[in-house]
């Protein structure tokens, strides 16, 4: 049995209420370095709220969150920005920046530190990894949704943090770039990063994640290896959709297909 990876983020009994509604309720979840954790669940399950809480951007109404062993509430903005990078669903900027300038924003936390000098190298590597070199001089607002998503991901990669939190990173992408993004996530984990990705495609989650955490109605329903979590019975109970599970012929990972007809 392998040695358990070091914990990057730990959430203990966290809950969030908004407008009298319980968005998250008593969730315990740890995120480990060197692994990809996929957060899945139906719309409204609380996935993005949980990701925001793990990032320190959403304050829990109950429970606690620690990053690298210290309460997230005690870490300043600069400290958090050097520990975790966050890709949000909305890829918008307030002014007319070029794609290259948006990517360069990822280096802001390192200004005035001994890692500032590595900025150009980190940016070039992020551009290459996300296939965005040809977009560099274009205005960000002029890009398609998929192009904005890839440029925003490049910004996150250029930030070069030990923890990477991705909210629906494949939502606006074609199949080739979906595979590219999740292969990139696997590569980050292989180099020791902790990666959390909110995903709707259960088959993609199964193919690339070390573990899957499934949420339903604000609660953690299951956490574990893809084959253990993604059962037809559990998916039907949580999503309200009948599915069948087939093994991928190449990898054996579960492929989730809806039952039709």
> Which domain range does residue 175 map to?
7-258
CB neighbour burial string for 61-94, b if at least 16 within 10 angstroms, e if fewer: eebebbbbeeebeebeeebbbbbbbbbbeebebe
Is 1 inside a domain boundary? no
The residue with greater pLDDT, 11 or 92, is: 11
Phi–psi pair at 84, nearest 5 degrees = -140, 145
Bridge partners (DSSP) listed for residue 219: 216
Contact residues for 89 (Cβ-Cβ < 8 A; gap 6+): 48, 167, 168, 171
The single residue listed with the structure tokens 């959430």 is 11
pLDDT digits (tens, 9 = 90+) for 54-81: 999 999 999 999 999 999 999 999 999 9
Confirm if 97 and 137 have CB atoms less than 8 A apart: no
Average pLDDT of span 128-151:
94
Return the CATH number at 174.
3.40.50.300
Is 30 inside a domain boundary? yes
pLDDT of 224 higher than 50: yes
Strand runs labelled E in the chain: 7-18, 21-32, 36-40, 62-67, 70-71, 84-87, 163-167, 194-198, 211-216, 219-224, 243-247, 254-258
User: What's the pLDDT score for residue 4?
Assistant: 67
Q: What is the pTM of this model?
A: 0.95
Lowest mean pLDDT among 92-101, 114-123, 158-167, 169-178: 92-101
Average pLDDT of span 91-98:
78
Lowest mean pLDDT among 91-95, 169-173, 238-242: 91-95
Q: Indicate left, alpha or beta for 160 from its phi (over 0: left) and psi (-120 to 50: alpha).
A: left
Is 116 inside a domain boundary? yes
Task: Sort 30 into a burial class: Cβ within 10 Å, 0-12 / 13-18 / 19+.
Answer: middle
Is 2 inside a domain boundary? no
Number of domains, the chain: 1
Cα gap 80→232, rounded to integer Å = 39
User: What's the pLDDT score for residue 1?
Assistant: 42
Reading the block at residue 123, the tokens are 């940016």
User: What's the pLDDT score for residue 94?
Assistant: 65
Is 143 inside a domain boundary? yes
Mean pLDDT, the chain, rounded, equals 94
Is 120 inside a domain boundary? yes
Confirm if 9 and 67 have CB atoms less than 8 A apart: yes
The single residue listed with the structure tokens 């990139």 is 184
Cα gap 30→8, rounded to integer Å = 8
Is 210 inside a domain boundary? yes
Q: Is the dihedral of CA 84, 87, 93, 98 positive or negative?
A: positive
Average pLDDT of span 184-210:
97
Q: How far is CA 182 from the centre of its chain?
A: 10
Average pLDDT of span 182-196:
97
Is 163 inside a domain boundary? yes
CA distances, 211 to each of 80, 196, 222 (Å): 24, 10, 10
pLDDT of 206 higher than 70: yes
User: What's the pLDDT score for residue 3?
Assistant: 56
User: What's the pLDDT score for residue 21?
Assistant: 85
Cα gap 126→155, rounded to integer Å = 7
């Amino acid at each position: 049995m392998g040695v358990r990876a070091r914990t990057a983020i730990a959430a203990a009994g966290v809950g969030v209420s908004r407008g009298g509604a319980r968005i998250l309720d008593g969730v315990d979840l740890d995120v480990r370095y060197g692994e990809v954790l996929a957060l899945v669940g139906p719309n409204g399950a609380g996935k993005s709220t949980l990701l925001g809480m793990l990032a320190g951007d959403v304050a829990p109404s109950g429970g606690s969150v620690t990053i690298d062993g210290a309460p997230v509430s005690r870490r300043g903005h600069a400290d958090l920005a050097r520990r975790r990078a966050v890709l949000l669903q909305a890829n918008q900027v307030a002014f007319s920046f070029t794609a290259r300038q948006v990517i360069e924003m990822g280096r802001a936390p390192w200004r005035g530190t001994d890692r500032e000098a590595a900025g150009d190298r980190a940016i070039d590597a992020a551009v290459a990894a996300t296939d965005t070199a040809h977009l560099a001089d274009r205005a960000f607002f002029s890009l398609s949704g998929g192009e904005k998503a890839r440029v925003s991901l490049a910004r996150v990669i250029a930030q070069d943090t030990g923890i990477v939190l991705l909210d629906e990173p494949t939502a606006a992408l074609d199949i080739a770039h979906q595979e590219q993004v999740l292969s990139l996530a696997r590569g980050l984990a292989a180099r020791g990063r902790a990666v959390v990705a909110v995903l709707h495609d259960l088959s993609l989650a199964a193919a690339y994640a070390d573990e899957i955490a499934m949420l339903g109605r604000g609660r953690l329903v299951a956490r574990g290896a893809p084959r253990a979590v993604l059962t037809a019975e559990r998916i039907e109970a949580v999503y309200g959709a009948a599915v069948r599970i087939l093994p991928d012929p190449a990898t054996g990972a579960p492929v989730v297909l809806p039952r039709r007809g």
